[in-house]
A and B are shown apart, each in its own frame.
Chain A
Amino acid sequence: MAEVTSRPVGKLALDPALVGRARELARRVGRPVVELARGHTTVSVERAVLRLAGVSGADPDGIPWVNRLVDAVVADVGLGHGVAVPVFDALAREQLTDVTLLAQQAAAGSVRFSVPAGRAATAARRAARRAVAVGVRRIDRRRAERERLVRRYGDPARRPWIYLIVATGDIYEDIPQAQAAARAGADVIAVIRSTGQSLLDYVPEGATREGFAGTYATQENFRLMRAALDESSRELGRYVRLTNYASGLCMPEMATLAGLERLDMMLNDSMYGILFRDINPVRTFVDQRFSRQVHARAGIIINTGEDNYLTTADAVDEAHTVTVSQLLNEYFAHEAGLADWQLGLGHAFEINPDVPESLRLELAHALLARELFPEAPLKWMPPTKHMTGDVFRGNLLDGFFNLVGTMTGQGILLVGMMTEAVVTPWLSDRDIALQNVRYVLGAAGGLHEDFVPAPGGFIQRRANRVLADAVGLLERIGEQSLLTAIAEGTFGIMRRPADRGKGLDGVARHEVGYYNPATEILEHSA
């Protein structure tokens, strides 16, 4: 990606050879993980395949039919062959046309699954591929629909896009709040999920009205909110984007549902679940790859979670771990078919404000991300760790955060609340926060043009140092392997061995003849 020259380039005078080396190391570190992902499947990947094939709804206890069907197949033939062939083989034998009906019969115990051979296997593959292709085509239509609506209503007039969070627990309460936020200037609405949803091994069904500190992500909730924001887009004359979370144990299904319901962005980090939710590393990497392939196809912008490193570790000492994670996220994203415009790589304004020159350090780190990933719509996240409840100081800090965001040309700006860590944002908190953003973007929206750090000065030196540290860390990881590094606690302070963590029992190595029609279609689309 970098030109082959040793002349320092850009606003930070980065050494192009070092930048190239950083990418090469990320590739070397990431490749074995991709190979691992290519040789395994998970229950959630298989459930996502069934969702694309048209299985929908849930049993009277609220357990989705995709879960019941995958469980039934696993009980008979295991997971390693994939569920597509056993399911479509059984469908033909039972002379059914509706896969959901088959799931219901399987749950009642009246269907046996087997791994067919010969002509039956070929027929099952073909039928599975045909059914899954219908789901993929629906995602394609949603993407075309988004492109049409963006052409009709337009994108926000300026960058960064303003990203606001809504979280009441009740989708019918979220909707008017989201519409009010859009009217007040939000370009992107994120609906935070209920606490603990990431650790549920199924996707709840239907419209939901009760959640803890967030609203359950369900297909119906996605649909309701997207329809409401389409109304807002029409009213406001700009396309308002919707965000949710493709993370946790059901990441591939979340990505699929997001594609089916035309969500526009999804939180989707390669290592977040491992480090912060103690989800098994293999499960995460397998689920990650599939979900990114779906996002690539659906035209969804992913948001990565590098901000989390800085809330657990020191934002100055560990700045290079953000860069390393961004490089790995970029590698995994490209490998899965995502384009640069879909990479909302994350970072955050989390340096302790009492540290001398903290603002200059923030500028150095933010500009480093901008210079390393010039085509990516970087996601810039506000201070949380050093918000103390002093709302007056918090508002000032958010102002500086907004200023750094505009000076370094960030793509997506998550609006900071001065009541962070005090209350869930009140109507007035959100209004004050948006006023802060509007003031800074209005007063200094073009400042990134003029902001060129002095050659050899503090900011250039700091950015180059962080890049060098990142390369050093990537070299150390490359000497062992990414899984070992994760097991030994290289990222954050958590040790996450590959044979531990949640969801491991839902992972299987591919058997000979494993077939996944969704992967086949998605990998041959690019």
Chain B
Amino acid sequence: MSERTERSEGREGMPSQHSMTEKTIVRPYGDTTGDGMVQVSFTLPVPHDRRAEGAAVQLANKMGIDPALLVHAKPMGEGFTFFVVYGRVNHLVDLSAVRVVERGYPLLSAREVNAVVKRQLRRKLSVVGACIGTDAHTVGIDAILNVKGVAGEKGLEYYRELKVTNLGAQVSVPELVEAARVERADAVLVSQVVTQRDAHLHNTREMSAAFREAMPVGRRPLLVVGGPRFDESQIAELGVDRIFGRGTTPGEVASYLVHALVTNKRARVA
């Protein structure tokens, strides 16, 4: 183990320094600079035989792995075969052409979110959530707020420094505004799943208008809306601060809240 580690470190030393200064074109690294070696695994819906192995090599070749070394093939269930392939790819990676999609805020862990709120806000950050209008689908708001969370990530209730009030389904806009006032909400999260006759858009506009009417600019909570059919760029049109689409996780929402309400607060006011 240690011998191998030393060996690979020894080999890596020179080229990595080199690449730090000028190299922008790189290839995958197996055990030698420039060898282009990769390892992939996949399943094909064919029974295991010689033809299946040939098919795996063909797929690897089409993926740019050439030569492709089929190191493992195993029948799985009825009519499926699992493969592990090692091989060399010819592709080059141009580091200067890499475009990073900006989230606009850093993704923080629950611990980091708690630490930032505790240190910089010095009180609990109050979040009020609801499904408004006739929408009874609490799947979205519960996934974000409930401790149980979604996809292995805990919901906002789990965050020690967030005070979460989940009003549930079919909450009227005046009830939501009142709850936000009582809970001194820093942020209001609204989930809209039902989209018949654009109900989600009407409801959201009604909600943002009500908050604008009821509270002066500096006192208004951050308005966040989420649901599978929203266009994330319609912020201005709907009068909200942020829109989250399908597949959003609690961690993304928490990180955004911290960004907008704590770490980048001045930017929002300005």
Q: Which A residues from 430 to 473 make CB contacts under 8 A with B?
A: 431
**Contact at A180–B78, with CB atoms within 8 Å?**
yes
Q: Name which residue of chain B comes closest to A422, CB basis.
A: B152
Chain B, residues 120-149, CB within 8 Å of chain A (1/0): the string is: 000000000000000001110011001110
Bound complex: CA A494 to CA B166 (Å): 13
B37-69 near A? 1/0 per residue, CB < 8 Å: 000011100000000000000000000000000
CB pair A427 B43 closer than 8 Å:
yes
Asked whether B77 lies within 8 Å of A427 as measured between CB atoms, the reply is: yes
Other-chain residue from A184, A275, A493 in contact with B77 (beta carbon distance below 8 A): A184
Residues from chain B with Cβ under 8 Å of A420 in the complex: 152
Is B86 at the interface (CB under 8 A from chain A)? no
Instruction: State how many residues of chain A have any CB contact under 8 Å with chain B.
Output: 27
What 0/1 readout, one digit per residue, does chain A (309-340) give for beta carbons within 8 Å of chain B?
A: 00110000000000000000000000000000
Q: Which residues of B contact A195 (CB under 8 A)?
A: 139, 143, 150
In contact, B147 and A276 (Cβ under 8 angstroms): yes
Q: How far is the CA of A183 from the CA of B71 in the complex (A)?
A: 26
A221 interface residue per 8 A CB criterion = no
A183–B77 touching, CB < 8 Å: yes
A492 to B151, CA, bound (A): 19
Q: Does A196 contact B (CB under 8 A)?
A: yes
Is B82 in contact with chain A by the CB < 8 A criterion? yes
A196–B138 touching, CB < 8 Å = yes
Query: Would you call B43 and A428 a contact (CB within 8 A)?
Result: yes
Bitwise interface map of A from 364 to 387 toward B, beta carbon under 8 Å scored 1, else 0: 000000000000000000001001
Q: Tell me the bound Cα distance from A142 to B218 in angstroms.
A: 64
Say yes or no: A431-B82 contact (C-beta < 8 A), given A195-B139, A195-B143: yes
CB-CB under 8 A for A278 and B43, given A427-B76, A494-B157: no
Any B CB within 8 A of the CB of A277: yes
A493 to B82, CA, bound (A): 43
Given contacts A276-B148, A278-B166, contact A312 B154 (CB under 8 A): yes
User: Among residues 234 to 282 in chain A, which have CB atoms less than 8 Å away from a CB atom of chain B?
Assistant: 275-278
Whether A431 contacts B138 by the Cβ 8 Å rule is: no
Minimal beta-carbon separation of B250 from chain A (angstroms): 13
A421 within 8 A of B: yes
> Across the interface, which residues of B come within 8 angstroms of A196, CB to CB?
137-139, 142-143
Chain A residue at minimum C-beta to C-beta distance from B147: A276
Q: Mark B12-51, 1 if CB is under 8 A from A, else 0.
A: 0000000000000000000000000000011100000000
- Number of residues from B at the complex interface, CB < 8 A: 26
Q: B77 touching A431 by the CB < 8 A rule? A: yes
Complex: A438 Cα to B154 Cα, angstroms: 32
Asked if A172 is at the interface of the complex by the 8 Å CB criterion, the answer is: no
Q: How far is the CB of B52 from chain A (nearest CB, A)?
A: 14
Name the residue in B78, B146, B166, B168 with the highest tally of chain A Cβ atoms < 10 Å from its Cβ. Answer: B146
Q: A180 to B147, Cβ gap below 8 A?
A: no
Chain A residues lying within 8 Å of B147, measured Cβ to Cβ, are: 275-276, 312, 492, 494
How far is A427 from B41 in the complex, measured between Cα atoms in Å? 12
A75 to chain B, nearest CB (A): 19
- Say whether B118 faces chain A, with CB atoms less than 8 Å apart: no
Residue of A nearest to B159 (CB): A493
A183 and B82 alpha carbons, distance in the complex (Å): 17
Residues of chain A contacted by B143 (CB below 8 angstroms): 195-196
Tell me, rounded to whole Å, the shortest Cβ–Cβ distance linking B246 to chain A. 11
- CB of A341 closer than 8 Å to a CB of B: no
Contacts of A276 on B, CB cut-off 8 Å? 146-148
| Nearest residue, chain B, Cβ from A435 | B74
Which residues from A are CB-within-8-Å of B42? 428
Q: Which residue of B lies closest to A201 (CB)?
A: B136
Is A199 part of the contact surface with B, judged by Cβ < 8 Å? yes
- Which one of B43, B80, B142, B157 contacts A199 once the chains associate, using CB atoms below 8 Å? B142
Bound form: Cα–Cα A384–B149 in Å: 13
- Could you tell me the distance in whole angstroms from the C-beta of A148 to the nearest C-beta in chain B? 29
CB-CB nearest in chain A for B168: A502
Given contacts A183-B77, A199-B138, A427-B80, contact A277 B148 (CB under 8 A): yes
Q: In the bound complex, how far is the Cα of B151 from the Cα of A387, in angstroms? A: 12
Nearest A-chain residue to B141, judged by Cβ = A196
B184 close to chain A: CB less than 8 A: no
Cβ–Cβ contact A426 & B43, under 8 A: yes
Choose from A183, A277, A426, A493 the contact partner of B146 (Cβ within 8 Å): A277
Q: Decide yes or no whether B158 CB sits under 8 A from chain A.
A: yes
Nearest CB in chain A: distance from B143 CB, A: 6
Q: List 5 A-B contacts (CB under 8 A).
A: A183-B78, A184-B77, A195-B139, A277-B146, A428-B43
Name 15 extra pairs, CB < 8 A, besides A276-B148, A312-B147, A427-B80: A180-B78, A184-B77, A195-B139, A196-B137, A196-B142, A213-B150, A276-B146, A277-B146, A277-B148, A278-B157, A308-B148, A420-B152, A426-B43, A428-B43, A493-B160
